């Protein structure tokens, strides 16, 4: 697990963090009955999560390619 985290740069960690923040905001807004805010937050969280996954896979591939 530490090797996976060491391959992640600060931008990827920040994106994952914000995806989780928007997900929690969406859950809280959904529980409190704010459907529009919950939907928007969930959409933002989903976008950031998939962007994180794409960048993470690219960084892993680049790490493998750079090794001698």
pTM: 0.61
R_g of the chain computed on alpha carbons: 15
- Phi first, then psi, for residue 67 (nearest 5°) are -65, 140
User: For residue range 3-60, what is the model confidence (pLDDT) as tens digits?
Assistant: 555 556 777 777 778 888 888 888 888 888 887 888 888 888 888 889 888 988 888 8
- Residues sharing a CB contact under 8 Å with residue 49, sequence separation 6 or more, in sequence order: 16, 19, 23
Residue 5's pLDDT is 53
CA–CA gap between residue 23 and residue 33 (Å, rounded) = 15
- Residues sharing a CB contact under 8 Å with residue 45, sequence separation 6 or more, in sequence order: 19, 20, 21, 22, 23, 25, 26
């Amino acid at each position: 697990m530490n090797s996976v985290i060491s391959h992640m740069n600060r931008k990827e960690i920040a994106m994952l963090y914000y995806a989780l923040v928007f997900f929690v905001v969406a859950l809280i807004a959904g529980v409190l009955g704010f459907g529009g805010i919950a939907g928007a937050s969930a959409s933002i969280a989903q976008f950031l999560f998939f962007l994180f996954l794409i960048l993470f896979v690219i960084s892993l591939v680049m790490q493998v390619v750079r090794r001698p």
